[in-house]
Amino acid sequence: MRSGEGALDAMPELELARAERAGEWLIVPLSDSVPESLAAGSHPHHVRQWLLALAVFPDKWVNRLFSVGGLKLDGGRLWLEAFPKAGLARHEWAAGDAESGGVTADVLFEDDWCLVMNKPAGMAVHPSRPGQRGTLDEAAVRHCLATGQDAPVRHIHRLDDDTSGPVLYAKNDLAQWRLDGAMREKAINRQYLALVNGVPQRPGGTIDAPIGRDRHHGSRRRVSLSGETAITHYETRVAGDDAALVRVTLDTGRTHQIRVHFSHIGHPLLGDTLYGAPAESSLRHQALHGERLIFPHPWTGKDTVVGCPLPGWFAGLSQRHGIVTK
């Protein structure tokens, strides 16, 4: 985001904190500092030029609104077509539950701008092949359809198929562009809980080791001097009999980063046989869960904190290894 974007008090001309939604439109009251030349009924081109000069919204969003007739001034208010209909009723996933298999996921947070869904382990975020069903993206579309929201819902980040936890979705173009920008600027913080084999000698620290592909195994990654920078921070929360509960945060988001790094230091995640952990009779995937998601709200700019409860399998596995979680 450029300076000022997302902060409600950044632009005295626009009373952003008093904005209200009316169907497809976002209505923003104007203050007395608006130029007199911008009277009600001003040509949308002049409104666009003024908004571009203010630089409070992304240029591409302002230009898109102008191109579809989504900008106007009326009665001391700025009207922005921020919530256009997406035509979800025509979506390929709009079929009945019999075809979908009842694909659902719990909603952890939702407002007009974004949606956070609790992805269970074993569910892909998005299709990896044509015609694939049962993804979190499908669950998000079905949620919008079931609640009467015709929104172009799109995921902002991903989790590995076998990792559970919160996934953030944008519900309109402005939210998507701002949240995509926050991802690029590393302003979205994802915290994880992992159960690792053994107890790390150091109670906390940073694993700074580049990660690249494993040329001997198509689905594996490995620490490699020629790989991409990867930085993982961890803190041991509870030490058990033969395992530990660790809290993990990432500076980077490489494929399998947490799994590779803990295997690299000799403590692979429980159940992660791909990276050297013994098999767990009650678990068919690695013991990794997204605990918390913190992101700048695409409209207010304020940090939004969304927690995600521990799944039953995680708590049960913890207890079997002498780790008591709340």
Cβ(84)–Cβ(70) below 8 Å = yes
Q: Do residues 138 and 167 make contact, with C-beta atoms less than 8 angstroms apart?
A: no
Q: Is the Cβ–Cβ distance between 254 and 224 less than 8 Å?
A: no
The vertex-76 CA angle with 71 and 82, nearest 5°, equals 30
Question: Could you give phi then psi for residue 104, rounded to 5 degrees?
Answer: -145, 165
How far is 2 from 4, CA to CA, in rounded Å? 6
Active site residue 173: no
The residues with which 168 forms a beta bridge, in sequence order, are 116
Rounded-to-integer distance, Cα 26 and Cα 28, Å: 6
Which residue is catalytic, options 32, 137, 160, 242? 160
What does the alpha-carbon distance between residue 19 and residue 22 come to, in Å, rounded to a whole number? 10
How far the first Cα of the chain sits from its last, in Å, is 38
Residues marked as catalytic: 160
